[in-house]
Each structure stands twice: as structure tokens, then as C-alpha cells.
Structure 1
Amino acid sequence: MVNGSMRTSLILLAIVGFAQSLVRVPLSRLPSVRSRLRVANQLDEFLREHQPDVFSRRYAQCYPAAQHYLRMGGKSTERLYNFMDAQFFGEISLGKPEQNFTVVFDTGSTDLWVPSSYCVSQACAMHHKFKAFESSTYTHDGRVFGIHYGSGHLLGVMAREELKVGSVMVQNQVFGEAVYEPGFSFVLAQFDGVLGMGFPQLAEELGSPVFDSMIAQGLLDEPVFSFYLNNNGSGFGGELLFGGVDETLFVPPINWAPVTQKGYWQIRLDAVKVQGALSFCYRSTKGCQAIVDTGTSLIGGPARDVLLLQQFIGATPTAVGEYLIDCVRISSLPVVSFLINNVEYSLTGEQYIRREMLNNKEICFSGFQSIDIPSPAGPVWILGDVFLSQFYSIYDRGHNRVGLAHLSGRSQIPLQITSYL
């Protein structure tokens, strides 16, 4: 028979064992590069210089014929990212002693990179830089890498290092040290680098992506991570949880959608509906494809569909491709719904309109943006943070599926973040 003291000890051990399988990373929410450019009266000029469509740039690899390549040492790379609207960031550490960096945890890419102390760009001067010579665990890789952003090429060298994410230590992690960061957007960015969380097929750097390293090194009980994004206007941005889910943050059941193509977290989107009066994707027996992307703020869709949607909600186009809404109309805007695996996810005007303050005046923007990706890869919708901040999202590599669940009442207030390890 187990006595009371032993029973208590077993319960505590069970709790500790469960807790060690979960790694929490608190997220902060800060103004985006787009917002900072707008305040500085530089947004119009920046966007004019960096068209065509920034969403098309980010997902250029979906296009059938690649036209722009960066070739170094026989390696061809093509990846066009845009983080102008990114607002959710978290902290990681590299090396021993630890060097801290703020990164975008991005399900729309796979590589990890941070600025190098040898970087010559103006953007690097504004951010934390990795000092390899100060770390006792640093290993030089010797290879070079390049990533093509909308504003130019990001160039760097590859290395291996101890990586701390939340409270877990990943050994011998491949990462990129950026020695040249392009464009004015990185100067204003509130993050130092990017930690990609897509499938290995997306990786530019040869080596295991961070999440794959965690799985391979047995650091997690489950090959799962989940996001709670808080978009209530406060600096608290929610949390990223490695190794499972936080059941206090959502209301069951979880709706699981299988990944249709490994690379991005890509799923089938059955239909997009606007107040029952407009529908997209429904004509196809295959529906549409959607990419679930924490590194993009907006919701993207085929230009023809999104233009109709903008007209239906009464959004007015600007000279730089944004769409304005009269703020007093928000409460009367139609509901926009996304049908995924026969479950409808509805967004009200309050949820899909972005509010910003400019010169003490509130301005309101549509949270929808055009993206045109031709067949066979397209059409593709991008479910960015405007969508994801309204639901709890789960990314399951063990079963190659994405889970969505409605937020619970507890998720509406800032959490007390604690570390389990």
C-alpha cells in the first residue's frame, strides 16, 4: 500500500515530468515596420520602391518559373520574405555565455539567422549582433548562405552553436550569421533575426531546423508546438508553447486539418464567405489552399477575390496598395468566414480591421491583402496574424496536421508566464 507521503511525492513527480515536456516562450507585441514607416512619413516612398506585391515576393517559390536566383558556391537559393507587418516576437539565446536576440517565430520559413558582429549594414548597427569570438561553444561551418528579401539579398555565413529557446537548450544548432542585411525595413525592424518553424523542405541552410533539432535530441515529449497570439493592443503578445498545448487557453474540440504539401504549413480551405452574400473557393471540388503563417500579419488571397471582398466591405484603396475603412463603420461591417475541414471560423469587422494612430488621429485599414500565385500552386490564401490572433493554433509534425480551436475566456487576459524547466 502506498502511504500518503509517498502518494504526494508520486503526484509531484508526475506534475514535474509533465511540465518538463512543455517549453513556454512569452511573446511581445510591438509596432510593425509598416507602422513605424508610416509615422516617419516614409511608407509611401518605401512601398513604391519595393513593388510588386510584397505577398507575392514572400511566396515567390510557389511560382512555376524562378527568375531571380542568388548563386553562391554552386548553391541556388530563392526565398523572398516580407516582415513589414510582423508584430509578435520572442527571445532566444545563442552561445556560452548566452547572447540574447529577439526573433520572429515564423511558420512561413525554416531557417534561423541573427546579425553577425562582422555585419557591415546600417540595419545591423541598430540590433544585437552575435559575437562568435566571445562564445566557448561556437563552431564555424564554412558555408555561405543567401536569402532574397523584397528589399535585397541578406548574405551571411553558417555556424553551429548552443541555442536556448525558452528554458530548453538545443545542442549544435545550425544557424546563419548575417553579414549584410538589405534595405531600410531591417533598420526599423523591432526584431534582430528570424527563427523559422516550417518543414525542412523550406530550409535554405543545410542542417536541421530548430524544431527538428528539438525532436531529434529528445527535448520534447510530443513533436508539437502551439501559438496563442494576443492582439488586444497591449504589449503582451501571447505565447509559443513547444511540446504540446495549453488546454486552459482554448475550448475543445480541436479541428485538425491535414497538411496538403510539406514546406509551409499548408492546408485545404473549403471556402471563404462574406456575410452569406459572397463566396470564394466553393466552385472547386478541391477548395483552395491556405498557408498558416505566423510571420505575416495580414490575410492574403487571390487578387480578384480580395478586390471583390474589399469592395463589399466598403474599403477604399490608397496609392500604395492599402485599403482604408471609415472607423465609424467597423461595427456594421459584414462577417468574413473561413471554412476549414467543415468548421466555420468567423471574423467580425472589429477582428479583421487594423487600427493605428497617426498624428493623434485613428486610421483604420482592411486586414486583407491581394496575392496572386498561378496554378498549379495557386490560388493560395495566407492566414496571417489577423486570423491567427482569434484562434488557438497547433502545429503537429507527428501527424503532419494543423489544429485550430476557439479561445477560452482565460485567453482574453494577459497570462502570468512561467518557465517549466
Structure 2
Amino acid sequence: MEGEVQERDVLEKRQARSASVRLAANQGSYYTSITLGTPPQTHEVLMDTGSADLVVLSTLTSIPLPSGGTADACSTNCIITAPLYDPSNSSSAEVTSQPVSITYGTGSAEGVLVSDSMGFGGWEANQTFIASPPSLASALVSSPDQTGLLGLAWQGLSESGAMPFVQSLFEAGSLEEPVMGFGLAPLDARSVPDPSAVVPGGILSLGTTLPSLYTGSLDYVPLSSTSGNELYWSIPLVEVQVAGKALGLSASAVVIDTGTNSIAIPQSAAEAIYSQIPGSAPVAGSQGIWSYPCSTDVSLTFIFGSTAYTLPPQSFNAGLVSSNGRLCAGAVSSLGSSRRGGETWIIGTPFLFSFYSAFRFSPPSVGFAPLNDSESLLAYGAIPTSSGGEVTVSVSGLGGAQATAMPGASAAGMNEVEWSTLMMAGVLALVLVGGGAAW
């Protein structure tokens, strides 16, 4: 028996490897291809380090929902053009009658548990996930080509109870290194003037990081909770600065979230930041978005561990909010002053596309490093499509670049910001003690 265990351990080590996955970007979110079923069905899913479940829009209708009643076929708000997951076309699918729900920062999803074969990055394994009816599309996706969301947080956060796919690779010893890394292409308003355009989104690496994309070494910060029951990729925040001035803002745990396309923070913290930006003000009716003069270059710094990370001014610019072109939306938004909103910090993509980020399973930690000159490579190359093929497009340069729009999209200048594509599209899964994901 001991010999069998040793042989299996050696086999697992030989099979451990790494992979790089191309990402697409649209409406401030990053997504890529997975396959489900036998034979494989290709789906585009958002990469979300702020939740832990795979949720996929499916052909299932008239299924029981935790909120009561049933969900039928999509009749309104039908934005999806890509094929839905169809368990009847998979010989390996096992559909249960167990309803489950998950609540995100700005919406919720419901469905039933399904078990089926999943492929991602060259690995394949059986995965339990949530199959949702198509009528719930608006809660999950921001692009007609997306049909789901892949949670990359820890199993303790999972509403289905299933271990997230990448964590399961780590636990099985299938990753060459216990880490996943994100080199994200910039999606600020100057780099991608038309948020509806589909553009290359960068690279996700599994089982390794990509030193060619960053300078120096990654500075890791241990997770706020390393008790063995981790939920989020959350780390302590030491300080926040605007134009080099320390604001006395800190937090014991801020969530590092690729699925939220703003830096969403407590109202009091947002007020402290914008008080240092002359001419800034809350945007009426926007539920937490602030405007500031577009002519102002904002220098915003976050200190994690012993390292200060200053966003480029263009990363702070989320797009126009006035027709005269004078006011822009800031990348920092307010979560409100409620008990939950007053405690929650979410560091989303405006920060993450400004630096290389690494999420390490052992020891549990998150690391950052400056992107180097080769970051322009992130804005070129093939991107996935729901047909299983690829389309090659490019973003010419960085910072002040113009996006090459996909057919049917316009990139003629910065659009006025759409509230739904800022903090409103965040997909952080929020959990309260007592079970059930909730805000």
C-alpha cells in the first residue's frame, strides 16, 4: 500500500504543469473559454476572484428556485446570443433537483446543481456547478457572448459546496506552482473608448506567473485569514494616499476582485479620497459614482504590506459623465454607509489592470508587481469566441490608445459612462453568518 501511495505521489508530480490562457474583455469584465459536457460545449465565462461558484446559463426551464416558484425561458432582457449550456446534449451530465442561490454585489443568480465534465486550460475534471435559467442573464453577464461566471475564490465561499476548479487543481497537486497570475490589458476610458467593443483582455496563467510581464519580483501579502477556512482573496490595507498625502485610511481585509470593475469602498473612505480632488462630486442617482474634472490627473496610491502602488492617472478615469466633456467618472465608487457597505472594500479591475497580480494558494497570499514594457503584449492576440474559435483584434498601444472596434461597434471617442458598466456590474459574492450569500 505504501508503495502505491508513493507511486501515485510521483505520478501527480510528473503530471503537474502550468498553462497560459488568453482573455477577452468587454464592458469592463474579463472572460475566457471553458468546455462543459461530453462532447464538449464551449462557453465564455467571466473570471471572478470575488466568488467561488461556476454559474452557467442553461437551457433548463421550469426548474425550482430557492426564492419560490419556477423560472421559465427568457422573455425579457434577453441579451445572450451565445449557445446556452444544454445538459441533454451531454452524456456525462447529472442534473439534480437541488435549488441553490447566490447573491452578488449587485444582483443574484439561482438555479439547480449539475455535475458534468469541465475543461479549462488543458485540464479536465468533473465539476459541480449551478445551471441557471436564461431569464437570469442580466445578473451574470455583461456581454452577449458570455454565458457564465467562473468563481476563483476559496471553497469556503461556495454556495454549491463544490471546490472551485483551480483550487481543486492545487489540492490535487496538478499545478506546477500553487498560484494563478493575471496580466490584464488596460480597460480605462482612454485605452478602450468604446466599452461595448470586444478587445483582447490579457493573460491568465495557471500554475505559474509570467515574469516577462512584470519588473522585479512579486511582493506577496498574506491573506487576512489563513486559518484554513479562507473565503475571499482578501489582504490588509495599510494606507491610502492622494497626491502623496496620507489619508489615514486602512482596513483589515480588502477583497482583491477581478469581477468588479471599480474600486468600491465605504462611503466615508470615498468622501475622504474625493475631498482631495478639487471639483469632484457625487453623481446624482448613480448609487455611489463620483465625477471629477477630466483635466485633473489623479495620483491614487494604495499601500499593501510595505509597498506603495500608485495607479497611472488614466486608470482612475472611467469615462465621461457630462456631454461637454469636462467631467469624468472616477474609478473609486462608494458602497454606501450601511453596516455592510461601511465595512467592505473591493479592489477591482482599475487597480488590477495597472499591475501584475498573483493569487497564491500556499502560503495563502496575494502579490503585485509593476507591469513592464512588454505589457503591450497583453493588448494583442487571439481572443476566444463562443463558437470555440478565436478572433484576432488589437489595441494599438497603451495609456492613450484607441481601441480597434469589433464589427458593429463604434470606437469614435469616449462614450458617456454607463452606470451598469461601473460598480453596478460588480460580482463579488457577499456572505453573512448563518448561511446563504447575501448583501
Quickly name the TM-score band, shorter chain normalised.
0.7 to 0.9
Deviation at 1:390, TM superposition (A): 0.6
- The 1:258–1:137 alpha-carbon spacing in structure 2 relative to 1, beyond 3 Å, is same
Which of 226, 236, 254 pairs up with 1:268? 236
- The 1:118–1:376 alpha-carbon spacing in structure 2 relative to 1, beyond 3 Å, is closer
Equivalent residue number for residue 106 of structure 1: 48
Does residue 28 of structure 2 align to residue 28 of structure 1? no
**Any conservation in 1 of the 2:169–2:175 contact (CA below 8 Å)?**
yes
**Any conservation in 1 of the 2:108–2:139 contact (CA below 8 Å)?**
no
Equivalent residue number for residue 206 of structure 1: 161
Distance in 2 between the 1:192 and 1:183 partners? 8
- What is the 5 A alignment of 1:263-412? 263-281=231-249, 287-313=251-277, 314-321=279-286, 322-327=289-294, 329-330=295-296, 333-355=297-319, 364-372=328-336, 379-412=343-376
Deviation digits for residues 34-62 of structure 1, max 9, x if unmatched? Answer: xxxxxxxxxxxxxxxxxxxxxxxxxxxxx
Larger displacement relative to structure 2 (266-275 or 354-363): 354-363
Deviation at 1:359, TM superposition (A): 8.3
Deviation digits for residues 108-151 of structure 1, max 9, x if unmatched? Answer: 00000111112423456724311111112212344221123567
Equivalent residue number for residue 134 of structure 1: 89
Distance in 2 between the 1:356 and 1:97 partners? 45
Does residue 174 of structure 2 align to residue 219 of structure 1? yes
- The 1:28–1:193 alpha-carbon spacing in structure 2 relative to 1, beyond 3 Å, is same
Does residue 216 of structure 2 align to residue 248 of structure 1? no
Deviation at 1:187, TM superposition (A): 7.7
Gaps of 5+ in 1: 1-16, 33-85
Which of the two has greater helix per residue?
1
Distance in 1 between the 2:334 and 2:110 partners? 29
Gaps of 5+ in 2: 1-12, 62-72, 193-197, 385-439
- The 1:418–1:187 alpha-carbon spacing in structure 2 relative to 1, beyond 3 Å, is closer
2:217 alignment partner, SS class: strand
Equivalent residue number for residue 161 of structure 1: 116
Distance in 2 between the 1:175 and 1:185 partners? 16
Equivalent residue number for residue 35 of structure 2: 93
Distance in 2 between the 1:387 and 1:361 partners? 24
- The 1:260–1:112 alpha-carbon spacing in structure 2 relative to 1, beyond 3 Å, is same
**Any conservation in 2 of the 1:110–1:209 contact (CA below 8 Å)?**
yes
- The 1:102–1:288 alpha-carbon spacing in structure 2 relative to 1, beyond 3 Å, is same
Deviation at 1:259, TM superposition (A): 0.4
Larger displacement relative to structure 2 (172-181 or 356-365): 356-365
Larger displacement relative to structure 2 (386-395 or 228-237): 228-237
Deviation at 1:291, TM superposition (A): 0.9
Which is bigger in relative contact order (C-alpha 8 A, separation at least 6)?
Answer: 2
**Any conservation in 2 of the 1:157–1:179 contact (CA below 8 Å)?**
no
- The 1:187–1:194 alpha-carbon spacing in structure 2 relative to 1, beyond 3 Å, is closer
Deviation at 1:98, TM superposition (A): 1.4
State the AA in 1 paired with 2:115.
R
Does residue 178 of structure 2 align to residue 178 of structure 1? no
Distance in 2 between the 1:411 and 1:236 partners? 12
Distance in 2 between the 1:325 and 1:128 partners? 41
**Any conservation in 1 of the 2:17–2:207 contact (CA below 8 Å)?**
yes
1:204 alignment partner, SS class: coil
2:51 alignment partner, SS class: coil
Distance in 2 between the 1:140 and 1:290 partners? 36
Number of residue pairs the alignment of both structures matches: 341
State the AA in 2 paired with 1:369.
S
Larger displacement relative to structure 2 (107-116 or 119-128): 119-128
Deviation digits for residues 294-315 of structure 1, max 9, x if unmatched? Answer: 0001112221121132232232
Which of 130, 136, 148 pairs up with 1:193? 148
Distance in 1 between the 2:184 and 2:235 partners? 20
Distance in 1 between the 2:326 and 2:35 partners? 37
Give me the CA root mean square deviation.
3.1
Deviation at 1:408, TM superposition (A): 1.2
1:110 alignment partner, SS class: coil
- The 1:361–1:103 alpha-carbon spacing in structure 2 relative to 1, beyond 3 Å, is farther
State the AA in 2 paired with 1:340.
F
Distance in 2 between the 1:260 and 1:165 partners? 29
State the AA in 1 paired with 2:335.
I
Which of 68, 74, 79 pairs up with 1:121? 74
Distance in 2 between the 1:184 and 1:376 partners? 24
Deviation digits for residues 207-240 of structure 1, max 9, x if unmatched? Answer: 2211122224443222211111111328111011
State the AA in 2 paired with 1:317.
P
Distance in 1 between the 2:15 and 2:337 partners? 43
Identity score, percent: 26
- The 1:112–1:388 alpha-carbon spacing in structure 2 relative to 1, beyond 3 Å, is same
2:272 alignment partner, SS class: helix
Give the TM-score of the pair, scaled to structure 2. 0.70
**Any conservation in 2 of the 1:92–1:165 contact (CA below 8 Å)?**
yes
Larger displacement relative to structure 2 (245-254 or 271-280): 271-280
- The 1:243–1:124 alpha-carbon spacing in structure 2 relative to 1, beyond 3 Å, is farther
